[in-house]
Amino acid sequence: MPKILHTYRYTGTPWEILKSVVPDGYTIKTLDCPTQEQLVKEAIDADYFLVSGRLLINEEVLANAPKLKMIQRTGVGIDMLDKEAIKRRNIPVYVNAGVNARSVAEHTVTLILSCLKNLPLISTNVKNGIWKKQETGVSCNELYGKTVAMIGMGNIGRITAGILHAFGANVIYTDIVRQSEDVEKSLGISFRASFDEMLPDADILSFHCPLTDQNQKILNAESIRKMKDNAIVVNTARGKLIDEEALYKALISGRIRAAGLDVHYEEPMLENNPLKTLDNVILTPHIAGLSFESFQNMMKNAVENIVAFDRRDFEIIKNKEIRL
């Protein structure tokens, strides 16, 4: 009976959802504790890896997985994968592209609006008996007419851009691949040749790209200096795209007005991370892609893809095999 090893730890409702989509004839195992040591131990008899979380699929794990036939991501990020070690073993890797794009897009726009409207701080003030209607109201801004600069225009980016367009925002973007003229026209988006070219125009900077060796800390002290005063930064992509120390300094100085961060340089966030102390920062625990609907679809699609691969039903494989 083929064994699917979930390379992190689910409990409660997430674990029940995952188990419910595994068909008869297959076993599914989640880790008893989410550590590299436990992952290495459980890899020994795994036929398939269902990869989520931040544990590394590295040389040590792969060397202890002699039966491994394929690696399936629950999402799309592959920064936890040792690409060279996987290539040496010729193990195929599939990603669950687009399955949670709408959830991430909605979360992105929620963070943008919450920053513009100062919602967390205002809600706290009202709960504490502070009722300053006019003073509070004029501290808020509308999304209409603002320029949102987006880094990346894949599945998530396009859905986000469509929502922003409906609000009347001006969307500019950069990506390694430019969208077609028809797509740009339908979404009301304008292309910029580089990240730096967008910065002076951005009222809101929003990240929608994968993490690479080339773009780590792409938002740093130097790039922040190129931005408008009082701009907003939103990140639902990967935490290491941002130099958090530089962002913190810009937030306390007022250079950056606010930030909405779903992803973080270290996950879970370190207990002493100074961003936690700021009223103009909204933090969520990497949940942009995890609505009930999207999580259920992610698990279903990923497991169905493993089963199709196992049965050699390549014509019905839904997910995308990637070249490392």
Which residue numbers are catalytic?
Answer: 238, 267, 286
Rounded to whole angstroms, the Cα distance separating 210 from 27 reads: 31
Beta-carbon neighbour count of residue 18 at 10 Å?
Answer: 24
Rounded to whole angstroms, the Cα distance separating 166 from 112 reads: 14
Is residue 241 within 8 A of residue 212, CB to CB? The reply is: no
Is residue 98 within 8 A of residue 322, CB to CB? The reply is: no
Q: Please give the order of strands across the beta sheet that includes 147-151.
A: 189-191, 170-174, 147-151, 204-207, 231-235, 256-261, 281-283
Query: What are the DSSP calls for 137-196, one per residue?
Result: HTT---STTPEEEEE--SHHHHHHHHHHHHTT-EEEEE-SSPPPHHHHHHHTEEE-SSHH
The half-sphere exposure of 282 on its side-chain side, counting CA atoms within 13 A, is: 30
Which amino acid, 211? Answer: L
Determine the distance from the C-alpha atom of residue 280 to the mean position of all C-alpha atoms in its chain, rounded to a whole number. 21
Tell me the pairing of strands 231-235 and 3-6. Answer: unpaired
